[in-house]
Structure 1
Amino acid sequence: MFRQLGLSVVAGAALLASALSASADTDVKFALDWKFEGPSAPYFVALDKGYYKAEGLNVTIDSGPGSVAGIARVAAGTYPIGFFDINSLARFRDQNPDKDVKGVLMVYDKPPFSIVSIAKSGINGPKDLEGKILGAPAPDGAFAQWKAFVKENKIDDSKVKIENVGFPVREPMLADGKVDAITGFSFSSYFNLMSKGIAEKDIKVMLMSDYGIVLYGNAIMVNPEFAKANPKVVAGFVRATVKGIIDTIKDPETAIKSVMKRNETADEKIELARLKMSLKDNFVTPWVKANGVGGIDEKRMTDAIDQIAVTYEFKNPKPKAADLFTSDYLPPADTRKF
């Protein structure tokens, strides 16, 4: 009898351990492209509201090295999921054809690539860059589109002096008049210039997407081995993130609180303004309003790849839209509308 009781206890313990193991959350390391700033709000909203938890995920969010450099982290599996520039992914895959990294959720329907200047430079349109000095970090995601921007706007680039500047000194050099304009992400350069004492009314942002650039921007992308082994985890992460994005769109004032909890040294007023700028210019477009968050238009992606080919010479055949992005993990379209 005691032996049977002992066996029952052991068996019960084993079943309990098995059940706990089955119900344990899956750890997921997620890499942002940059710092904990306004545009990162959707992920922290999803974390704080328990959307990831509801999908059985224990998500850790880390800052990143930029929208280009971080792709290698996803390809290596250091981070199974990351948030980076899909145009840079096209170039990365060409240089690393064995790395089948794909986008699974388009976040920036329009990229924040921009040319930023201040009023005294007299730059009101693309052609005004002729005869001017453009400060551009060589690895900058916005500068990577320069040749396509030149082509679309018929700029005589022989009349534009390109100065390779470091990221930390880009806005200070513009503020000091050492360059006439800079390339950068709109919502980064704009507020960096304000912090340098440049009046808001004097900051001029020329979004490349308003001048012929049809590219998409940053997307959630996944490591191929991780996606193959954990399709439900990827789908759950995407589903929870969509909810975080929609909540952020509907109530940015509340959403920014989730960022500020992780970045107490930031200025909430500036980060809210930065978030609202990104929502207006990058997240929420007429296409997104009509079709919902997270998907792509395949023809536009094909056109975007052709535009990437203007700035980058592919060593292998040009990728197709399906090589860069898959909608396999997206929830139904009606759940992605707001």
Structure 2
Amino acid sequence: MIFRRSTLALAAAPLFAPAIARAQRTPVRFSFDWIYNGPYAFGAAAEREGYFREQGLDVTITRGFGSARVPIDMSAGTFDIAACDPTPLLRFMSQNPNNDLLAVGLMWDQAPGSATVRADGPITQVSQLAGKTLAAPEFDGGRQVFPVFARLNGIDPASVNWMSVAPELREVMLVQRRADGITGFVTSTALSLKALGMDLPAQRIFRYREHGLDFFYGSVILTTRTFAQRNPEAVRGTVAALLKGLKYSFHNRAAAIQALRGKEPLTDVAIEGTRQDMAMQELVDSPNVRRLGLGIIEAPRLERQIAAVKEAYSLGEMPSVDRFHTDRFLPPAAERML
């Protein structure tokens, strides 16, 4: 009888081993700022390749609902670390000076915001967006950055009529000519319009970075000072795993999309592969990244972004560079080179 019980215990041990291993890893709740699609396939790749496990972490990745929601949800304790556009983040930090937020790395060196109109329509230059109707969700990153883009291009932001719509209806408004244009991340809008029958030649895309916002950063890795103080190794490990996943996905695009499909079975491989390529080309790979490696935020450039956001939104006191960001959680430079 003793022998039988011992045998059963030994047989059951492998079944409990994964649960025990997970219990020994530090749990981290991570959120992207939008739906889990091609540009974020590197998160799924980091999971599949075991990069979080290597850091002793049990990371749960969820989708987001727009960058403007991220600082609100982060402050409410909904998650521990997240991706976020710096512009709505800076605005939130200015309007909530007692916030506990802290950027600990850079995900996208270039800004993804854009305004898109029909190529067969009357709007042929940025200045003609004045007085027009643009459709976007209220929390949309492109909409959040639009006032900065508008002012730099001589447009009164107040002249634009906004049509607030659910994310799944944004592109429909342009296809059906119910709006003059839409805003959003170019990686989202361009391919979503294509899926609705409006291919890239039928779109006229005004990328913000090509119209005055070339110095804007696109997406930072955000946490809170409290979480970072209590869990410094978890923050350091999450940042390292994310950047390692981004580097892996840059060089292994198809494998990253398959990892995404493993998490999201309904993934359209062709569309999301193209979306990922666009993100890698337009947002990740830049002269700055080639020079400095992934993850680096430079103070002079960030100061320009802070000043531009302050002016566009007529904000009061803004966070300093040191208050907004720290690089002490980044992995060594050799690990970050693309």
Quickly name the TM-score band, shorter chain normalised: 0.7 to 0.9
Q: Which segment drifts farther, 284-293 or 147-156?
A: 147-156
Superposition deviation, residue 125 in structure 1: 2.6
Give, in angstroms, the shift of residue 226 of structure 1. Answer: 1.1
What's the counterpart of residue 218 of structure 1?
A: 219
Residue pairs, 1:42-61, within 5 angstroms: 42-61=42-61
How high is the TM-score relative to the length of structure 1?
0.88
Q: Structure 2 CA distance, aligned partners of 1:97 and 1:286?
A: 34
Deviation at 1:53, TM superposition (A): 0.5
Alignment of 1:1-150 (within 5 A): 24-130=24-130, 132-150=132-150
Q: Helix, strand or coil for the counterpart of 2:103? A: strand
> Once structures 1 and 2 are overlaid, which stretch shifts more, 138-147 or 233-242?
138-147
Contact 1:130–1:155 (8 Å) recurs in 2: yes
Partners of 2:173 and 2:179 within 8 A in 1 = yes
Partner of 1:267: 268
SS at 1:67's partner residue? coil
When residues 157 and 267 of structure 1 are mapped into structure 2, their CA distance, relative to the original with a 3 A threshold, is same
1:314 counterpart SS class: coil
Q: CA deviation at 1:311?
A: 2.4
- Whether 2:265 is the aligned partner of 1:244: answer no
After TM superposition, give the deviation of residue 333 of structure 1 in Å.
1.7
Unaligned runs of 5+ in 1: 1-19
Please say which of residues 33-42 and 86-95 is displaced more in the overlay: 86-95
Counterpart in the other structure of 2:165? 166
Q: TM-score, normalised by structure 2?
A: 0.88
| Maintained 8 Å contact 1:45/1:255 | yes
Judge conservation of contact 1:84–1:221 (CA < 8 Å) in 2: yes
Match for residue 299 of structure 1? 300
Q: Is the 8 A contact 1:215 1:307 kept in 2?
A: no
Look up the match of 1:181.
Answer: 181
Structure 2 counterpart of 1:201: 201
Counterpart CA distance in 2 for 1:260 and 1:98 is 40
Give unmatched runs, 5+ long, in structure 2. Answer: 1-19
SS at match of 2:301: helix
Instruction: Give every structure 1 segment of 4 or more consecutive aligned residues whose post-TM-superposition deviation is greater than 3 Å.
Output: 20-23, 130-133, 136-139, 155-158
Which whole-Å CA distance do the structure 2 matches of 1:21 and 1:140 have between them?
38
Cα distance in structure 2, aligned partners of 1:226 and 1:138: 28
**1:234 match:** 235
Residue 259 of structure 2 is matched in structure 1 by: 258
Give 1:130 deviation, angstroms: 4.3
Mapped partners of 2:228, 2:183: distance in 1: 34
2:331 alignment counterpart? 331
Q: How many matched pairs? A: 317
**Percent same amino acid at aligned positions?**
31
Q: Deviations over 1:80-109 (max 9, x none)?
A: 111112221112222322222111111111
- 1:22 Cα offset (Å): 12
Aligned residue for 2:60, secondary structure, equals strand
- What SS class does the counterpart of residue 107 from structure 1 fall into? strand
Distance 1:117 1:21, change over 3 A: closer
* Partners of 1:136 and 1:162 within 8 A in 2: no
Paired with 2:331 and 2:320, the residues of 1 have a C-alpha distance of 23
Could you tell me which amino acid in structure 2 is paired with residue 233 of structure 1? A
Residue 108 of structure 2 aligns to a residue whose secondary structure is coil
2: CA distance, partners of 1:251 / 1:47: 14
- Cα distance 1:161–1:67, how it changes in 2: closer, same or farther (>3 A)? closer
Q: Tell whether the 8 Å contact from 1:145 to 1:311 is kept in structure 2 after alignment.
A: no
**2:67·2:84 contact (CA, 8 Å) conserved in 1?**
yes
Q: Distance in 2 between matches of 1:232 and 1:311?
A: 37
CA distance 1:54–1:126, shift in 2 (3 Å): same
Stretch deviating more after TM superposition (190-199 or 254-263): 190-199
Partner of 1:281: 282
Distance 1:220 1:228 in 2: 16
Question: Partner of 1:4 in structure 2?
Answer: none
The alpha-carbon deviation at position 131 of structure 1 amounts to 5.9
Is the partner of 1:35 in helix, strand or coil? coil
CA spacing shift, 1:276–1:169, aligned 2, 3 Å: same
For the Cα contact (< 8 Å) 2:151–2:312, is it kept in 1? no
**Structure 1: distance between partners of 2:122 and 2:240:** 45
In the other structure, the counterpart of 2:291 is 290
SS in 2 for 1:120: coil
Query: Would you say 1:312 and 2:316 are equivalent positions?
Result: no
CA contact (8 A) 1:126 1:153 kept: yes
Preserved contact between residue 147 and residue 310 of structure 1 (Cα < 8 Å): no
